[in-house]
Structure 1
């Protein structure tokens, strides 16, 4: 009963918090928390917090758009680009109603550029980047400008304009060093690729070592995986298969730690719950309707508590009755077993002449005739008690025996 009561009380308080939380949001604080969680690989914590806020229904348009934007960045951090774009589209639809100079509108452009680029949709990414450049990179986050420079550098790399790419990468590196040194491995990976194209493998290896040290010091697992993957690819591309094999073994260990696919699967489960409830919350937007819904929930919770309380009491009563019946049955069986000791050997094993029984079934009946319990028979025959019961039932049907009492009666008669 205590377990059931705890579950329903917990469910009640969760529902209560959904209806009355998320007021007066501190968007800057929330964004810092989400960025920190995602960087440390705690994407599920980010998604749960953002889902709870969205489910609260107490958001103005700007707050809702910002939370949807942060949900998009969370999905991009686990490489789920389809979900990222979906949330960006939702956020953009709301952001169009905000003032032209609202910072979120520029942040959305940056995020579109990133997700299109990560998803190898370079034409779309370049189109957004041109729009960002036309607005003179108006963004309060220097890291984002570093990312844009890296993407511009990569587009030069694709065109084999290596000097221009190298300049963009080092400009990005300089910004990232000042903004957030823990994100340097992203730039280092781009430089590794550049020097691989220039056939300077030693320089790529040197940068790889620096990148892994930074990832270790910042404790960012995903950057270690990202950098190691890039180095493995470079080795294979340059036919250095021995080195590729060694770094591939290390990469397998890192990926097992991350277990990214499980995270995505679990996040989708939570997201499904958010999607299903989103429409319900929009329909119950005013306080009066929320009060009605909350009252119904409380009533259902109370009825559920009463139902499970009564059910639990009935189960306890049934268990007591069953225990008494089993005890009585045990006493009867003990009595039959004592009586069976006085039977002659020729009468005790009358069933051994039956051709309808297998040797295994006859062996079981011998133990039964000797007065052993189901548990003792199971131990002797190395089977479960349920198997003993199953075989006994079949044997009784074959020999036309009603129950154990009838069995001992037949033993005495024979």
Structure 2
């Protein structure tokens, strides 16, 4: 069986190897990926090299950490294969991040920050992830390191970690996500809707950037995100004294998302079938205008954000008692079941993160440089795409069946503006 998958891997990797003109690199790439897939609890370079008699530690380390080669052609091949496997109008592009706990402070980007895997602040690296998924099948497209300000403000530290000049300016995680989305769109990867959790959904510039690109999106938000009723009107208030008002103001105040949904009708909605039956929760869904326009002083209410894009406001009441809130610019005629299905489709990226770490050693890299970390991450993504292709082939699932699960129809999304 091991010989079978190794033989299949060699054949499957041929498009990648064509981009690695050097003969030695053409040997190192399959060896590194086979080391990630093969047996062994630790997938860092030293134990992988110890399991491969024909290759030395120095050669593997040089390939991933110091060798002069361009990863862009390999990345383009990965994206093309992912698009062929799961891309299309009904595919999801899922934005998230994952933490790699680290000791010390020399590894690129490591700093005390919130680690999702631990649910608390910890010393770690944070990678912004981009996943293409159809139904329950995810393929990871991108893992880009987030650099905290403690790094971007220290030029000597970045130079020592060999951070390229183009990435030394501080960028928020939503900024990085938009840059990655633009690259994926330019490469022709097909998807219908962008999904993200509240870490990204709370960012008005992130949501607005997606809408400006004509993309459909469904994102988590904090409970205190302000919204207006969908029928809010802009009026000229009557000035009691002084000069007449020259700017419109909303005729009602904005409300926090959880307050807006207090009087809404909550109903049970099932979005798909899981291994233990139908998955369902109680949802409240209503159309609103997001309070993320330009700030303006509105009488005694003080500075308020003007009404922005019209969107779905969604509340989810889970069986645990926890409540979550979301916004989506899916069209106004989208059924509530499909809006809920879009929101809940994001879970597959968490499955991908877990498998990349537990099966392929994403968090096992022990190098300190920017290039080494990103090449290691790319190798794990290529390995993951190979495993997904092989798993689908073994189960006999066709591309059509990948899309049979109920999902929102994300095509034809036209963002609505005031």
TM range, smaller chain: under 0.3
What TM-score does the superposition give when structure 2 sets the normalisation length? Answer: 0.25
- Which of the two has greater strand per residue? 2
- The structure richer in helix per residue is 1
Q: TM-score, normalised by structure 1?
A: 0.25
Query: Which protein is bigger by CA-based radius of gyration?
Result: 1
